[in-house]
Amino acid sequence: MKADVRPVTQDKFGWLQAAWSERLGRAAEYVVIPALALAASLAAFGIFIALSGKDPADLYFYMYQGAFGTWFSWQNTLSRAAPVILTALCTALPAQLGLVIIGGEGALLIGALAATSAALIVPDAPPIAVQFAMAFAGMTAGGLWIALSGALQHYRGVNETISSLLLVYIALAILNHLVEGPMRDPASLNKPSTREIGAANMIGTIPGLDVHWGLVFGVVAAVLAYILIFHTVFGFAARIAGGNVRAAKVVGLGVGRLILIACFLAGAAAGLAGMVEVAAVQGRTNANLASGYGFTGILVAFLARHNPIAIIPVAILLGGINASGGLLQRRLGLPDASVLVLQGMIFLSVLASETLYGRLAIFRRGS
C-alpha cells in the first residue's frame, strides 16, 4: 500500500500542473491572439494612411494622445465606453444560448422612453426614488423589448436576428411618435423633445472623474453577467442549450425559460444604458438618443467573443479609438470615415484570427 502512495500523488500533481498550464495557455491565447490581430489592423491602417500622404508615426502618436495620452483623454475614452459596455451585454448574453440579438439600440430607446416617463410621472418625489423608478422602468421596458424577440424565436420560429433588428425601427418610430406627439414639451419648438426630468433628478458624474455613473453600472453589470454565465447553474444550463439545444431538451432543461430570461436580462442592460443617457447626459428624451450605441455594442460583443469580462477592455479600446478620432480629424485632416475604416479593419482581423485558436503550439506546452 505504502509503495503505491508516492506514484499516485506524483501523478495527481503532474495532472494538476498540466491542467494549470493548459488553462494558463488558453488564457494567454485569449489575450495574445486578439492583441496580434489588433496590431495587424493598426499596421494595415498605417499603410492606408501612408498611402494617403500622411505620416503613420503622427497617426499612432495622435491616436495614443487622443485616447490615453492625457488624463482628459482617459476621461474622454471612458465616457464613450460607458454606454457601450451595457449595450454589448445585450448581444453577449443571448449569445450564450446561440442567439444572435442585434437589437440593443431598440431596447436602449425604449428604456430611455420608459425611464423618462417614470421621471415625468413622479417629478417631485425624492431624487433617489425618481432615479430608482427610472432605472426600474428602463430595465423592465428594455428587457421586455428583447424578450419579445426571444419569445418570437422560441414560440413562433421567427429569426431573432431579423426580429430584433426590425424592432429597432419600431422603437425609433414609437420614440419619434411620442416625442413629436403626446409627450412633446410644447416649448421645444424646433427640436421636438419631452419635458426635462429636472436637474435634481440627474445622476451626475463619478466623484473625481468627469465620467458619468454609466461606467460603474456597466462594469458591475458585466461582472454580474460573467458570474451568471460561468458560475451558476442557470449559466451552465444556458451554455448547454447554446451548445446543443436538442441535448438540452433531452436532459430536461426548460429552453424556453432560459431564452426568455437571457433575453430579458440582455434587454435590461441596454434599457439601463438608455436610462443613463437620459439621467446623466440628455435630461430628456428626443431624437438625440438614437446615436448608435446599440450598434457599436454588437461590434464590441463580437470582438469580446461574448465574454462579459472581455467586453470591458474592448469597449474601452473602441471608446479610445472614437475619442482619438477627433484629434485625427483636427491634426491630420483625416475625414471622420477613416475611423470607421480602422474599426472595420479591427473587426475583420479579429474575426479572421479566430482560426488561430488552438493552432499555435506555443500555448500548448503544458498538454
Partner 1 sequence: MPNQISRRQVLQGTAAVAGVLPIRAALAADTVIGFVYVGSRDDYGYNQAHAAGAAALKKVAGIKVVEEEKVPETDAVEKTMESMINLDGATLLFPTSFGYFNPHVLKIAKKYPKVRFEHAGGLWTDKDPTNVGSYFGYIDEAQHVAGIVAGASTKTGKLGFVAAKPIPQLLRNVNAFILGAKLANPNATLQVIFTGDWSMPVKEAEATNSLIDAGVDVITCHVDGPKTVMENAARRGAMISSYHVNAAPLAPQAHLTGAEWNWEVLYPRFARMFTSGETIPNFYRGGLKESLVKVAPYGPKVSDAARKQADDVKTKLTAGDYVIFKGPLKDNKGNVVIAAGINRGQTDPELEKMSYLVEGVIGAAS
Give the burial class of 113: count Cβ atoms within 10 A of its Cβ; 0-12 exposed, 13-18 middle, 19 or more buried.
buried
Least distance to partner 1, CB of residue 287, Å: 7
d(C-alpha 244, C-alpha 240), whole Å: 6
d(C-alpha 104, C-alpha 274), whole Å: 10
Least distance to partner 1, CB of residue 48, Å: 19
Residue 306 contacts residue 101 (beta carbons within 8 Å): no
Least distance to partner 1, CB of residue 330, Å: 4
Least distance to partner 1, CB of residue 99, Å: 28
Least distance to partner 1, CB of residue 275, Å: 15
Distance of CA 18 to CAs 39, 80, 358, Å?
A: 30, 41, 16
Which stretches of the chain bind partner 1, using CB under 8 A? Answer: 58, 61-62, 65-66, 69-73, 76, 79-80, 176, 180, 189-192, 212, 277, 281-283, 286-288, 291-292, 322-323, 326-327, 329-331, 333, 335-337
Kindly tell me which of 15 and 71 has the beta carbon lying closer to partner 1: 71
| Beta bridge partners of residue 286, listed in sequence order | 193
Kindly tell me which of 231 and 330 has the beta carbon lying closer to partner 1: 330
Residue type, position 353, single letter: S
Residue type, position 36, single letter: L
d(C-alpha 327, C-alpha 334), whole Å: 9
Kindly tell me which of 12 and 330 has the beta carbon lying closer to partner 1: 330
Kindly tell me which of 192 and 366 has the beta carbon lying closer to partner 1: 192
d(C-alpha 136, C-alpha 148), whole Å: 18
Least distance to partner 1, CB of residue 105, Å: 13
Percent composition of the chain: helix, strand, coil (DSSP 3-state, to 5): 80, 0, 20
Q: Which helix (H) or strand (E) holds 313?
A: helix 308-332
Map grid coordinates 421636438 to a residue: 192
Kindly tell me which of 234 and 295 has the beta carbon lying closer to partner 1: 295
Kindly tell me which of 32 and 209 has the beta carbon lying closer to partner 1: 209
